[in-house]
Structure 1
Amino acid sequence: MKVRFLVCSLFLIAIVNVKAQENLAAYANIKTEPTEKINFSETNVGIFYQKKLGTKSKIANTIEYSNLKVTYELNPYNFYADQEKFNQIQNKIEYSNQLLEKTKLDISIIPTANFQRNLDFSDVTVLGNIEVKQQLSSKIDVILGAGRTSVFGSPKFTPIIGFNYKMNLNANLSIGFPDSRISYSNNERNKFSLTNSFNGNFYHLDELNNEDKAEKAVLSQMTSAFEYERNVSSNWFLNFKAGYDFNKKYSLLDSNNNKVYDFNTGNGYVLGIGIKYKQ
């Protein structure tokens, strides 16, 4: 009940402030990632809005709730019953400023609460990043930055590198870390993308896991996928995703981020579907 109340409160705050914003989007996604030993199913919902601050800067905010369900196929004694559901409430605050004609600064602060059942202040972690985008020509720009991210599971500082190339009016190429993408639109309603991303997450465990001294469950992988987005009406979009997870890891860590247990999940495919409203 406490989790539901907090999630509803965050979304109500976002909705109340929407009238003052210039852009609004709401979305919901379902994703499944089965492996040889364990199946992962994730659902997330979110609200995004942004507002311009003059001609050179803008702010944006994304509030998201996600739920991860883990199913252990080889678990005859229900040994992992306390590690089947994980929750995350995240608020991403972004600020962008056009410092110079061809130089842009992006800063994000991301408070996130990652927990099992009982939400506590100790479950809150602050992530974020800072990036500088430099335009080299009308078609090329580069991105350099760093951030405290969870792309490898546990929060740690990582570099951010990107090279963007606008191939033509319909196609764009972006190569970098942690994300790379090539996208193509044959018309205003269809968008096709090939993506490759390093991604992960972590969850603080409840006290009942302290017998094995584990305090966090961490997941990470590199995902290569084909994505398709369809604009079904003026404001509604459907998106589909199919891909494969490489080097997938799921383990338990102690308070010093030392590995306590490795589930050895193996790799597996990814299937996802989502819906989005934009205005």
Structure 2
Amino acid sequence: MMRTNICISAVVLLFFKSALSQQFINRERGFELVRVDYTVIPSLGDIQLDRQGVNLNFFKKLNSGGLRLGLAYSRSELTFKDADESHQFGDFDNFHILRFNMSYIRPLAKNWSINISLAPTLSSNFKGALSTEDIIYTAFGTVGKQWITTNKRSSLRFGLAFGTQFGSPLLFPVLSYQKQVNEKLSYAIGLPVTGIFYTINKYNSINFRIRPEGAFVNNSNILRIAGDDRDFANTKLQLNAFSLSLGYDLQLDKHWVTTFSVGYIPTSNIEVLDDNNDVIYDFEADESISINIGLSFNINRTKNNDKNETRSRN
């Protein structure tokens, strides 16, 4: 029954490529139709995390706006280096997150817009029968204003979100200001993402991001802890982190883009909670690095692609 706020590392934002972090229109890449990625975090104290993910997206233009549908799946594996933890918490050695996202974007007068998103999420280790405890309903709603001048743009977006970006589901504010400085440089300041983005040429770009990362996974099996006579049902694995990452994007051709990033998490927690969300175990891990590689297929490129216009940052 330990509760210690200790630095650990987990680039767990890799569990959720949330639409909350979208910024400028990705004119050079187009719309991301498919993405696959792999992440390794070698040292969460005595835990290594490996994760594979795939994202599918679809966009339909409507008379009154646009509808975006997405399906994201990730499988994560925890390797416990401590034999006792491996024996007691082996139910968390593999867990899965399946999310269906529905977003509606409606433009308003004078470059204002609204964005509403609902994303029911199945988050479980699949070790027992599924229940409502394995389902998380995440959502957000924002209002935005965009300013456009010749070859430059900036925008302000604000609203509320309910999700797992900080671990256990909670309501938090969304506030983000994005600005294109010139045809190569842009930045974003706010929550949930702060970053700097630089386009070297039409094939290469780099970025630096600061953002929270989180996951909340149900154990659908009974958990028993040595020295405790109780049987714990519907325990949760909670991860929350704060990450800094440096990324590189390479445009392979007019559709395919590969990405590579190295991250560092200076502060984070990974804990097991009971069905009342009280901590029953803290893994007391240390800080770590992370490595992520990805490949995406993009469509709907425009004739202005070769002018190095501002990229959208996910």
TM-score range normalised by the length of the shorter chain: 0.7 to 0.9
- Native 8 Å contact 2:112 2:145 kept in 1: yes
Q: Is 1:226 the equivalent of 2:226?
A: no
CA distance in 1, matches of 2:197, 2:31: 23
Q: Partner amino acid for 1:120? A: L
Cα distance, 1:47 vs structure 2 = 0.7
- Native 8 Å contact 1:24 1:50 kept in 2: no
Aligned to 2:141: 130
| Residues 240-251 of structure 1 aligned to structure 2 (within 5 Å) | 240-251=260-271
Cα distance, 1:213 vs structure 2 = 5.4
1:30 to 12, 31, 38: 38
Q: Is 1:267 the equivalent of 2:290?
A: no
CA distance in 2, matches of 1:235, 1:58: 22
Q: Deviations over 1:47-95 (max 9, x none)?
A: 11101112x5101111011011101111256332222011011011111
Aligned to 1:120: 130
CA distance in 2, matches of 1:26, 1:135: 27
Unaligned runs of 5+ in 1: 1-21
Range moving further from structure 2, 211-220 or 221-230: 211-220
Any idea what SS the aligned residue of 1:257 has? Answer: coil
- Native 8 Å contact 1:48 1:62 kept in 2: yes
Instruction: Specify which structure has the higher proportion of strand.
Output: 1
Aligned to 2:217: 203
Cα distance, 1:119 vs structure 2 = 6.0
Q: Partner amino acid for 1:132? A: V
Aligned residue pairs total 257
CA distance in 1, matches of 2:31, 2:125: 33
RCO higher in structure (CA 8 A, sep ≥6): 2
CA distance in 1, matches of 2:68, 2:108: 18
Q: Partner amino acid for 1:200? A: G
Aligned to 2:207: 193
Cα distance, 1:212 vs structure 2 = 4.1
**Which contiguous aligned blocks of 4+ residues in structure 1 show a shift greater than 6 angstroms?**
none
- Using the size of structure 1 for normalisation, the TM-score is 0.87
Any idea what SS the aligned residue of 2:108 has? Answer: strand
CA distance in 1, matches of 2:212, 2:186: 20
CA distance in 1, matches of 2:181, 2:194: 15
Q: Partner amino acid for 2:33? A: A
- Native 8 Å contact 1:181 1:196 kept in 2: yes
Aligned to 1:7: none
Aligned to 1:50: 59
Unaligned runs of 5+ in 2: 1-29, 225-230, 300-314
Any idea what SS the aligned residue of 1:188 has? Answer: coil
Cα distance, 1:189 vs structure 2 = 1.3
Range moving further from structure 2, 251-260 or 113-122: 113-122
Aligned to 1:16: none
CA distance in 2, matches of 1:175, 1:24: 23
CA distance in 1, matches of 2:140, 2:118: 7
Call closer, same or farther: CA 1:148–1:97 in 2, change over 3 Å.
same
Q: Deviations over 1:78-113 (max 9, x none)?
A: 332222011011011111011222211111101000
Aligned to 2:276: 256
Cα distance, 1:207 vs structure 2 = 2.6
- Native 8 Å contact 1:252 1:261 kept in 2: yes
CA distance in 2, matches of 1:100, 1:75: 61
Q: Deviations over 1:202-245 (max 9, x none)?
A: 11112322624562111110110011111111211110010101
Give the fraction of aligned pairs with identical amino acids, expressed as a percent: 20
Aligned to 1:80: 89
